[in-house]
Structure 1
Amino acid sequence: MPLASLIGRWAMQPFSKALPPLGDTERAALEAGTVGFEGRLFAGRPDFDVLAAMGPNRLDEREQRFLDNEVRELCRMLDDHAIDEAHDLPPEVWRYLREKRFFGMIIPEEFGGLGFGHHAHATVVARIATVNVATAVTVMVPNSLGPAELLLRYGTNVQKAHYLPRLADGRELPCFGLTSPYAGSDAASIPDRGVLVEREIGGRTKRGFLVDFDKRYITLAPVATLVGLAFHAIDESRPEGERELGITCALIPVPQAGMEIGRRHHPMDSAFMNGPIRGRQVFVPMEWIIGGEPQVGQGWRMLMECLAAGRAISLPALGSAMQQTALYVANGYGRIREQFGMPVGRFHAVAGLVAQMSAELYASDAARRFTAAALDKGERPSVASAILKVQLTEAGRRAVNRGMDILGGKGIISGPSNLLGVAYRQAPIAITVEGANILTRALIVFGQGAVRCHPHVLDEMAAVQAGDEKALGKALMAHGRHVALNLWRSLFAAPVLGSPPDDLMHEARLIARMSAKYALTADLAMGLLGGKLKRMELLSARLGDVLAHLYLASACVWRYRVEVAPEMLPFARAAIRLQIDEAGSILRDLYANLPTAGRRVIGALVLRRTAHLAPLRDVQLLELAELLRKEPRIVARLAPDLSEPAAGGLLDLMHAMELGTKLGEGTAALNKVLRRTNSLEEAASSAPDPELALAYLKAADKVIQVDDFEGPPRDAQGRADLRPAAAVAAAAPPGQPAQPPSARPPERTIPPRVPAA
């Protein structure tokens, strides 16, 4: 008997116990999408020629023109504070979005859409989000996981011909209902049910489903004219045990008998539309099922396949936009605001934060752009999309938090001139939706990656499922060779495959070595813990995090090659160093927490020769911060999607930065005179160009000031009247109504003299 068959016979029983049969929903999730470069990292063999072959992001002429014109014009219509206060977009913005087909970016031109690629789609969302997140969410939802994408991939020709043109030009505004009050992260267990029935409509008998459903957190639901719905389809005429047909996706026009669009939710009080949808005995004929009757029961597979790509686009774009805006704000405010006689950005505590933000942005945006390039080449990397969703939304939150720390009091005063307050409040939204990060990190990245990205595990599972001893033996033998190779590479030397840029050869060696150590560690964890690893979420989350940091580090190598920007080399090196150091730190934590005897010995053996993986030194962080202060083009490269809004603090900062760049080093001398004279005019008169100097000082002062509002009314003695507003109004003299506190700040004028800094 061949050796493979002997090994397979010996291993079949224990493997059958360790690998229970997969359910349909688990199988659909695991099999969704494709495997990209993350698979090479999981195998311990990253090939840098494969990275290079992906090529740069490309925009065609139409996409570039849309970004330069329609997107720029839209951003100049957006006032972040006013939209936030109104809890809605202005009517002219809604109208512009429809007229310019922002809701049809992914719909092909043949159906009246824009037919954009993934990179263009993500760039549009990111540029809008740098000035107003609510508008970006409004644009991204119809172009993300929902009716348009489902129709494109699975709809009937009749459904496509009817709905896609109407979705493209905004006649139909869609939403998609998946989440239920009792099924959030466990979306496959939605309790919503549809029973197969026949109904006579217009003298004809129609087959369809009577559906009861209760959905919540549905973005655009309050304004939707077309509801996408996921429900469990049931055929009660079948024998017991065969009645569950599976999750099914349908389109329901609004209004519809039995369906109620509920009152509005306010996610962190954001202005985008969100709310619940409920239905009782809603008849859904077969022609409303996406794809028609053949697609009944195929909804979960459809959703997982779409999510494999969609999760890499919209929410990562929001996270990137938050990072870009926060970096621009932190760096710019650090140049303008002075304390103790010098710009706050020159203090090491602030400079270190700004530098850290820049290195993280370089890495996260590299991964986002690399994955978009892969998507535009036809890949659908499900594990990479989960990595992006977690890493970029978390990076966005960290960047905004750091920016708020640097802004200090300026950051916590609400009003039109606040620079990051709205983004700070809204950051948790992206963390929570489309697979909450705590779930995605703990269960999906490594749970799915261990099966899809590992070169042999899927073959082993298939052999066990089929009861094929020979196939199992062959897979196990290949798996053994794989482990031995990664053990050798971890202990001695991991070769660099391909030709990374010469400037990053040292960093490429670090990535190759850490990838081998990670691949060996993943195999050890799965071998030692077996099926228990799935339930040990703190360990599986760490394994997923290491893969994520390796993916981001590798994307930095790709980005440096395709951008051809030598001035960005310090940022590329810093970004890779941060990611590799984080990966090493997580692996050390993992070995310290393995519930296995000898874990410390194993960890010390595997992680030998990693002591040099220290984080960036202080001097390196300060060098990055100095480059950011002195080189506006570097900030522009790190934040290329930053757009100009209609009004508000960001526009004020942009104006001040533009004037400051024209003045150059003269700002330091100006501020010194200003501290002595306490007068904008006197300080400006000391400059070679007094007119430019005064314009800068006024613009800078506008950035530094914060908004104030009317307080409670005061009596004749000047004391605040703290009675309820209704009582104050009732007591006001006839013809002289009491003035309530203003909901908007008054116009501010620049005083002739300002306090000393």
Structure 2
Amino acid sequence: MIASLLGHWAFEPFAKALPQMGDTERAALEAGTVGFEGALFRGRPDFDRLMAVAPNHLTAEEQAFLDKDVGELIAQLDDFAIDEARDLPPEVWRLLRERRFFGMIIPREQGGLGFSHFAHAAVVTRIATVNVAAAVTVMVPNSLGPAELLLRYGTQAQKAHYLPRLADGRDLPCFGLTSPYAGSDAAAIPDTGVLTERVVDGRSMRGFVVRFDKRYITLAPVATVVGLAFQAVDPSRPEGQQQLGITCALIPVPTPGLQIGRRHRPMNSAFMNGPIRGDDVFVPMDWIIGGEARVGQGWRMLMECLAAGRAISLPALGAAMQQTALHVMTGYGRIREQFGLPIARFEAIAGLIARTAADLYASDAARRYTASVLDAGERPSVASAILKVQLTEAGRRAVTTGMDVLGGKGIISGPGNLLGVAYRHAPIAITVEGANLLSRALIIFGQGAVRCHPHVMAEMAAVQARDENALGRALLAHAGHVLRNLGASLFGAGTQGRVPPGLEKEARLIARVSAKYALTADLAMGLLGGRLKRMELLSARLGDVLSHLYLAAASVWRFHVEADPQLLPFARAAIRFQLEAAAATLRDLHANMPSGLLKALSPLLLQGTRHLAPLRDRDLVALSEALRTDPSLVARLCPDFTPPATGGLHDLAEALRLADALGDEVAELNRALRRTHSLEAAAAKSRDPEAALAYLRAADKLIQVDDFRAG
């Protein structure tokens, strides 16, 4: 009775408050599944559920591929030479095809490698620590390429024809989604296909005559098959029913009317990218992915594939940038001296190294946790958007910080440069596959507010069905949810489930901030209604808080599954930094809410967020010193980093290897070098002059920069 009355009273104002939603937006909202991010959004994280997620696992075949095949590939990658040539060498292209790098996600029975999501990510990450262009070339066919669409939606004939050819590289795919006038608003693509019949080879065929203009299409210049998204139209239908919806097709290269445009060079990178255009391209019905039954379902298909794909490839690039940058900062910080000390011992640099290490622990924890969830069969769309945003941003931060530590060494181009190419690549990952500006507001929070909230979806469904009783029941449950989070915000939130020893306090803080976030999200949605969708600065902040909570919780999981006590200080630091960022963002959010009442209540609602046991300077210095004195910690934080066969990263690895062999004598050798200004003289008095001279020469080579003939 109460529910029915409440629903009747609230129906009209509630219907007006809800944002308008089109079919494409609905498809995006409904794509994928909800995992632990939903518990954080509700303000009730259950750590038993978090700890129940299995650790990452590689099969013997996957491990062998990483060790042998990826190792052989890396040995052929010269970052500077590839960058200068603006293409991969022919032998690299050949190896990628022969070893089926393009078929990692394709099952073995269809010619591929049948790898797990974690193995796929590990391969891309390891390659990207050496050469981003090669990693991008590998990741695109395994990410939002036609292969995943075919696996999930293709007809049996399409699978039988294309999957073996994609797996062994006989066909190289690209996918055209972005148009010059529909970038972030991909659902509004202007490219159209008009349903018609044509005679082909003497046979009448149904299909679409398509006109399209796509850009920023990775692998387009070398593609032999083009995946295409277009708006399907049936002019024979009545007015208002002619739009069939976004449709996906596969077009062989060459096809009459299809044109591969002149090459684009994103940040002058070596990976292949360019536009594709089509005029009067006939696409038979059996070229539609899934056949005629899938006409108009392309947007849902793309969103469902992105629910997984966003969590793999671009986060792998971000992780690679972080691992490479931390390896460079710690290694160069040990070798390079100023004022008679290794630069890593100066607090200004030590603080940067410690923050980067903590950032890496948290972001890599989230990447590994989400890969495990994916391998368990989930498709977490909100979590995958969190990963895409957070890891690409973390990669950019790490490389920028690394450049600060390198100083002049970092800005001189040449084979000896350690991070310059990665620094140039960083903005690419930020921009593509859902620009981070858009993803923070519209996907992480916009989608999260509907999918992760325990009651909003039910309320929206009740309004759509005009079911006042169902709306009333959902609103009563929603009110109980708000009151529970209000109590937890004011009086403290208890921890549900068990957590690893040593992180009990951090888990309680996660629960506390989660409850305050859940309450704030409800207040924002209740006070602003549909306006919140347009207030992107607020909704982006709401997305950021959820992201920080997700990374903090994933750090708890990572410490649990790794059970490495030496990494406990890094786990704690990672969680504290994420919670500090979440709390600061919550305070900014409350300060900018257009509600005098909420601003008045904010000090009460946000109590306890001002100082979440932040790390002190001494803690940062201790973390950095641990990395400087124990290289095994760096190796555990950077497990995917692989020194290349040539270039600056090889020089760094060689200098570190020789320094480790000499041990404590390195400091005395450097003092002797400052006195004598001679490598030979400094090495002469060593207990092992030959080893000492080899180290000094390697260190000198690392410190020097490349030069070129003028003009």
TMscore range, shorter length: over 0.9
| Alignment match, 1:553 | 552
Amino acid at match of 2:627: L
Match of 1:425 in 2: 424
User: What secondary structure, in the 3-state scheme, does the structure 2 residue paired with 1:598 have?
Assistant: helix
* Alignment match, 1:273: 272
Distance 2:32 2:89 in 1: 38
Q: In structure 1, what is the Cα distance between the partners aligned to 2:520 and 2:598?
A: 11
Quote the residue 2:144 is aligned against: 145
1:182 equivalent in structure 2: 181
- In structure 1, C-alpha distance between the alignment counterparts of 2:704 and 2:600, rounded to whole Å: 58
How far residue 695 of structure 1 moved from its aligned partner, in angstroms, is 1.0
* Counterpart contact for 2:37–2:383, Cα < 8 Å: yes
Q: Percent identity?
A: 73
Q: Deviations over 1:652-697 (max 9, x none)?
A: 0011111111111211111001100111111112222212111111
Superposed CA deviations along residues 43-65 of structure 1, whole A, max 9, x for unmatched, are 00001111111021000111011
1:495 alignment counterpart: 494
Q: Distance in 2 between matches of 1:64 and 1:414?
A: 35
Amino acid in structure 2 at the alignment position of 1:121: H
Q: Which residue of 2 aligns with 1:32?
A: 31
Letter in 1 for 2:300: R
Deviates more, 1:598-607 or 1:482-491: 598-607
Residue matched to 1:52: 51
- The match for 1:212 is 211
Contact kept? 1:72, 1:644, Cα under 8 Å: no
Partner of 2:634: 635
Structure 1 residue 646: deviation in Å?
Answer: 2.5
**Map of 1:7 onto structure 2:** 6
Query: Scaled by the length of structure 1, what TM-score is found?
Result: 0.93
**Hey, what does 1:602 align to over in structure 2?**
601
Q: For residue 42 of structure 1, what is the aligned residue in structure 2?
A: 41
Amino acid at match of 1:144: S
Equivalent position of 2:673 in the other structure:
674
Question: Hey, what's the Cα distance between the residues in 1 that align with 2:73 and 2:44?
Answer: 45
Is the CA contact (8 Å cut-off) linking 2:544 and 2:582 kept in structure 1?
A: yes
Q: Distance in 2 between matches of 1:202 and 1:410?
A: 63
CA distance in 2, matches of 1:667, 1:525: 58
Contact 1:76 1:644 in 2 (8 A): no
CA contact (8 A) 1:211 1:284 kept: yes
1:660 counterpart SS class: helix
Q: Following the alignment from structure 1 to structure 2, what is the Cα–Cα distance between the partners of residues 244 and 615?
A: 55
Deviation (angstroms), 1:459: 0.3
Report the CA distance between 1:612 and its aligned residue.
Answer: 2.7
Looking at structure 2, the residues matched to 118 and 564 of structure 1 have their Cα atoms a distance apart, in angstroms, of: 23
Q: Which residue of 1 aligns with 2:650?
A: 651
Tell me which residue corresponds to 1:310.
309
Does residue 475 of structure 2 align to residue 476 of structure 1? Answer: yes
**Residues 430-469 of structure 1: pairs in structure 2 closer than 5 A:** 430-469=429-468
Identify the residue that residue 346 of structure 2 maps to in structure 1. Answer: 347
Q: Which amino acid in 2 is paired with 1:93? A: V
User: Take 1:39 and 1:281, find their aligned partners in 2: how far apart are those partners?
Assistant: 46
Partner amino acid for 2:387?
A: L
Greater CA deviation, 16-25 or 166-175? 16-25
Deviation at residue 603 of structure 1 after TM alignment = 1.3
Alignment-derived partner of residue 706 in structure 2:
707
Task: Tell me the secondary structure at the aligned position of residue 212 of structure 1.
Answer: strand
Tell me the alpha carbon deviations over residues 577-630 of structure 1, each in whole angstroms, 9 at most, x when there is no partner: 000011000011111111111333221111112233253210000000000001
1:22 Cα shift? 2.5
- Are residues 1:295 and 2:302 paired? no
1:533 partnered with 2:532: yes
The secondary structure found in structure 2 opposite 1:183 is: coil
Residue 373 of structure 1: aligned partner: 372
- Residue identity in the other structure for 1:646: A
Q: Output aligned runs, 1:64-463, within 5 Å.
A: 64-463=63-462
- In 2, the alpha carbon distance for the partners of 1:588 and 1:316 equals 28
What is aligned with 1:728?
none
372 and 709 in structure 1: CA distance in 2 versus 1, 3 angstrom threshold:
same
Per-residue CA deviations over 1:218-256 (Å, capped at 9, x if unaligned) read: 000000000000000000000000000000000000001
Distance 2:61 2:501 in 1: 36
- Where does structure 2 lack aligned partners over 5 or more consecutive residues? none
Letter in 1 for 2:184: S
**Residues 544-623 of structure 1: pairs in structure 2 closer than 5 A:** 544-623=543-622
Distance of 1:50 and 1:578 partners within structure 2: 23
Q: Is the 8 A contact 1:231 1:248 kept in 2?
A: yes
- Counterparts of 1:686 and 1:507, CA distance in 2: 52
The answer as to whether partners of 2:180 and 2:213 remain within 8 angstroms in 1 is yes
The one-letter amino acid paired with 1:277 is I
Greater shift, 126-135 or 652-661, is seen at: 652-661
Q: Tell whether the 8 Å contact from 2:230 to 2:246 is kept in structure 1 after alignment.
A: yes
Question: Hey, what's the Cα distance between the residues in 2 that align with 1:492 and 1:300?
Answer: 45
Q: Describe the superposition over 1:386-419 as per-residue Cα deviations: whole angstroms up to 9, x where unpaired.
A: 0000000000000000000010000000000000
Q: Do the aligned partners of 1:248 and 1:298 also contact (CA within 8 Å) in 2?
A: yes
8 Å Cα contact 1:38/1:551 also seen in 2: yes
2:583–2:610 Cα contact (<8 Å) kept: no
Counterparts of 1:219 and 1:393, CA distance in 2: 18
Distance 1:224 1:621 in 2: 48
1:20: how far off? 4.7
Letter in 1 for 2:694: A
Q: Secondary structure at the match of 2:710?
A: coil
TM-score, normalised to structure 2, is 0.99
Partner secondary structure for residue 304 of structure 1: helix
Provide the alpha-carbon RMSD of the alignment.
Answer: 0.8
Contact 2:19 2:533 in 1 (8 A): no
Q: Which amino acid aligns with 2:87?
A: D
Distance in 1 separating the partners of 2:62 and 2:289? 29
Q: Is the 8 A contact 2:219 2:274 kept in 1?
A: yes
State the Cα deviation string for residues 101-130 of structure 1 (Å, max 9, x = none): 000000000001000000000000000000
Q: Deviations over 1:329-352 (max 9, x none)?
A: 011111101111111111110111
CA distance in structure 1 between the partners assigned to 2:284 and 2:54 by the alignment: 46
1:330-381 superposed Cα distances (whole Å, 9 cap, x missing partner): 1111110111111111111011101110000000000000000000000100
Question: For structure 1, which segment, 435-444 or 367-376, has the greater mean C-alpha deviation from structure 2 after superposition?
Answer: 435-444
Query: Structure 1: how far apart are the matches of 2:570 and 2:557?
Result: 13
Displacement after TM superposition at 1:531 (Å): 0.8
Check whether the contact 2:334–2:342 (CA below 8 A) recurs between aligned residues.
yes
Which whole-Å CA distance do the structure 2 matches of 1:271 and 1:612 have between them? 46
Asked if the contact 1:511–1:550 (Cα under 8 Å) also holds between the matched residues in 2, the reply is yes
Could you report, residue by residue, the CA deviation over 1:196-236 in whole angstroms, capped at 9, with x for unpaired residues?
Answer: 01011122110000000000000000000000000000000
Q: Which residue of 2 aligns with 1:687?
A: 686
SS in 2 for 1:530: helix
Contact 1:21 1:465 in 2 (8 A): no
Q: Deviations over 1:457-500 (max 9, x none)?
A: 00000000000111101100000000000000010020100000
1:414-448 deviations in Å (ceiling 9; x for gaps):
00000000001110000000000111112211000
Distance 2:608 2:15 in 1: 38
**Secondary structure of the equivalent of 2:198?**
strand
Cα distance in 2 for residues equivalent to 1:603 and 1:60: 51
Amino acid paired to 2:303: M
| 8 Å contact kept, 1:97–1:103 | yes
Q: How many residues align?
A: 711
Residue aligned with 1:283, SS: strand
Structure 1 ranges of 4+ moved more than 3 A: none
- Please tell me whether the aligned partners of residues 358 and 570 of structure 2 are also in contact (alpha carbons under 8 angstroms): yes
